[in-house]
Amino acid sequence: MLGTRWSEMRNTHGNQPAPQEQSSLSFTQGFLLGQLSVVIFIGAFIKFFIFGDPPSPETTASSRALARQSRDRTHRRSFSINSSPSVVSRSDVRLSPSNVLRHPPRLTTPIILAKTYYNVNAHQPESLDWFNVLIAQTIAQFRTDAHQDEAILTSLTSVLNGPQKPEFLSSIKVTEISLGEDFPIFSNCRVHPVDDGSTEPDTARLQARMDVDLSDLITFGIETKIILNWPRPLTAVLPVALAVSIVRFSGTLSISFLPSVSQSTPSANPANSCSPQQPLSTTPTSLAFSFLPDYRLDLHVRSLVGSRSRLQDIPKIAQMVESRLHAWIDERCVEPRVQQVTLPSLWPRKKNTRGPPSEDDDGLGVRASETIRDIREEARREVEDERRKDREHWEREAAAGYPEGLRWRSRAEGGGYEMPGAMPP
């Protein structure tokens, strides 16, 4: 019996290491499997997410155009450039009667088109060659002015390093600026009325639409450092260099004039808010322009990340930059949103006149100079006559035998000195 128990105990103690070996083997397999899965996930992320091939420009442009059109249909119903609850038409404003200033008849859109002999249905699109020449001269002058004293470099550096710069970025340095060499080409211009939801059908504003195409290389490059401030400041620094080039832009530009309108001033008394004697404020005439949602913008983005082991031209960074630039344009000047530019007064003024002086200006200047010279001559003669009279007076007193001290009041010879408070002769 003792031998049997001893053999059982030996068998029990001899079989104990087997479960430990199995548990250690299962832990090693799980650890290796977890590490392998992490490596596979990181590799797949880097390959397909960071270094994945971006979609073709045609596919990207078509998808963005469809998204803009859907957004345009959503917002167009409730958007109008001239829609405002406080706008009062000029026909409803009671103007003071005047017999001097004659008010012309009301000009509607059909009347304007008839007086300018423009048929929106039959008129052929215009080429705008003359307009392209003017725009090219303006852009050429802008490029020339930008290179003087590096004004554009200074202004861009101050804007990029302004208060809106994120905290995780170091100072931003501009490394490359190229304003291009070509010019945009405008063509296929046509004019048609646009209804802004007005109750009167004849008050629709006229809008000019033209195709614009620019094929150039406009480049802007910067470099900075991404700073990681967690868990402590300056934990890590990652240098980043980025250069964005506009290769081509094509789209349809819409331009229209927004006439001045009268807006009612809010009244303190709601009961008198509809009174015709309420003061009105007039908004200035402005120029509104926007692009249709089917525009196309082709960009070329170059990136460089890292200091020693550098990653060059990461596709995901290019996609992020392109999406941000498209969103920036869509939020500002793509229909239904527009940009309004206030127009200055077009009435001719003398202070705005440039060029050689006219004959009237020369005659006026000569007459003014002659008048000033005559005044000076007359004043000089009056002073000389006064001194001559004083000298003759004191000579007569000296001949009559007056005391010498009285002549010190005004010495006729030696500068004409006069004592303070002396009475006139």
Tokens of 384: 């000389």
Residue 241 near residue 223 (C-beta atoms within 8 A): yes
Residue 278 near residue 225 (C-beta atoms within 8 A): no
What is residue 93's predicted lDDT score, i.e. its pLDDT? 45
Mean pLDDT over the full length of the chain:
76
Q: Which of 54-58, 278-282, 358-362 shows the lowest mean pLDDT across its residues?
A: 358-362
Residue in the structure block whose two tokens are 């001269």:
137
Measured CA to CA in angstroms, residue 205 lies from 43, 103, 202, 255, 256 at distances of 58, 21, 9, 11, 7
Q: Which of 122-131, 306-315, 330-339 shows the lowest mean pLDDT across its residues?
A: 306-315
User: Which burial class, exposed, middle or buried, applies to 322 when counting CB atoms under 10 A from its CB (0-12, 13-18, 19+)?
Assistant: buried
Tokens of 127: 């080429």
What is residue 200's predicted lDDT score, i.e. its pLDDT? 60
Tokens of 102: 């004659």
What is the rounded CA–CA span in Å between residue 381 and residue 58?
90
Confidence category of residue 139, pLDDT binned at 50, 70, 90? very high
Helix extents (H) in 116-195: 129-147, 151-160
The angle at the Cα of 147, spanning 242 to 296, to the nearest 5 degrees, equals 50
What is residue 22's predicted lDDT score, i.e. its pLDDT? 62
pLDDT over threshold 60, residue 185: yes
Residue 241 near residue 220 (C-beta atoms within 8 A): no
Q: Which of 129-133, 285-289, 376-380 shows the lowest mean pLDDT across its residues?
A: 376-380
17 vs 157: which has the higher pLDDT = 157
What is the rounded CA–CA span in Å between residue 56 and residue 60?
6
Using one digit for the tens of pLDDT, what is the confidence trace for 68-120?
667 666 655 445 454 444 444 444 444 455 566 677 777 788 888 888 888 88
Question: Which amino acid, one-letter code, is at 92?
Answer: D
Confidence category of residue 235, pLDDT binned at 50, 70, 90? confident
Tokens of 353: 């006149």
pLDDT over threshold 80, residue 312: yes
Confidence category of residue 401, pLDDT binned at 50, 70, 90? low
Q: Tell me phi and psi for residue 413, to 5 degrees.
A: -115, 135
Question: Which amino acid, one-letter code, is at 424?
Answer: P
What is the rounded CA–CA span in Å between residue 16 and residue 303?
61
User: Edge-to-edge strand order for the sheet containing 262-264?
Assistant: 87-88, 262-264, 280-282
In degrees to the nearest 10, what's the CA dihedral of 45, 49, 52, 58?
160
C-alpha 135 chain-centroid distance: 18
Confidence category of residue 328, pLDDT binned at 50, 70, 90? very high
> Three-state SS string across 316-354, please?
HHHHHHHHHHHHHHHHHHECCCCEEEECCCCCCCHHHCC
Using one digit for the tens of pLDDT, what is the confidence trace for 340-355?
998 887 777 766 677 6
